[in-house]
Amino acid sequence: MERPIIHVNAFTNQPFAGNPAAVCVLPYAYPDPWMQAVAREMNLSETAFLYREKDGYRLRWFTPKVEVELCGHATLASAHVLWENGQLAPRQTARFYTHSGVLTATLKGAWITLDFPTLIATPIAPPAELVVALGLEPHAVEFAGRSREDYLIALADPATLRTLQPNFTQLAYLPVRGIIVTSPSDTPDYHFLSRFFAPAYGVNEDPVTGSAHCTLAPYWAAILNQPTLTGYQASARGGVVRVQPAGERVYISGQAVTVLRGGLLAH
């Protein structure tokens, strides 16, 4: 029997933009090696697998290389698929059991809002190997921090952020999931810009990283003194993320578009 697999662009309202994720809704848990093999075959930054559990769904995320603890865009894509397929009514909350605890998603109009944990970046001295790998001069770094998952590097100049050409081989040796680089926005449409690099996890540059906004939201809310903010991830594909910090939680909102439906024949 074919297992449906759906290709969704997350954090965008346009096809072929945002961050692509494959979503596979299963009747029960499949073996880990099979899920990793499918993620490698899909060759997207994330492939999400979900199946019914309790009053919601067990949700797991795989890059082409490894399973990850937290992923925003594939969670948003999974919720989008459940509502679009009629597996959840539009007013129902999507409830996911994950390695990062219980995560929820709600739908209002065209926007999906995720309830995610806050991941504060504790200030650190900018690691010299990180600055070099990013191709930066030390004086360009306004702030350096480390969250549970990632390094956070803040720059003053949006043009520097947009033109970064990191050495991904060097970045892959750093002891973190990924590197968030952020700056103020260079357009009034957004409060801040960001990019995200995770070569150690098989993703040199992630197009739009929902989970990075668990760190970006409290950082920029404190600087700009704004309760809600809109960020633009300035990758080649680009994507828009709305955030609202709420203590130990962050509300992360985005849109999603289905671009392809298919079926897995080998399982």
Cα 222 to chain centroid distance, Å, stands at 21
Q: By the 8 A CB rule, do 267 and 21 touch? A: no
What single DSSP character describes residue 40? H
Q: Which residue has the tokens 């809310």?
A: 221
Q: By the 8 A CB rule, do 116 and 249 touch? A: yes
Q: By the 8 A CB rule, do 9 and 20 touch? A: yes
Q: How many CB atoms lie within 10 A of CB 222?
A: 11
Q: Measuring CA to CA, which residue among 251, 211, 216, 241 is closest to residue 106?
A: 251
- Does the active-site annotation cover 46? yes
Q: Among residues 41, 46, 53, 248, which one is catalytic?
A: 46
Burial (CB count within 10 angstroms: exposed 0-12, middle 13-18, buried 19+), residue 27: exposed
- Using DSSP, state whether 96 is helix, strand or coil: strand
Q: Which helix (H) or strand (E) holds 250?
A: strand 249-254
The neighbouring-strand residues paired with 94 are 105
Q: By the 8 A CB rule, do 48 and 211 touch? A: no
Q: Which residues carry out catalysis?
A: 46
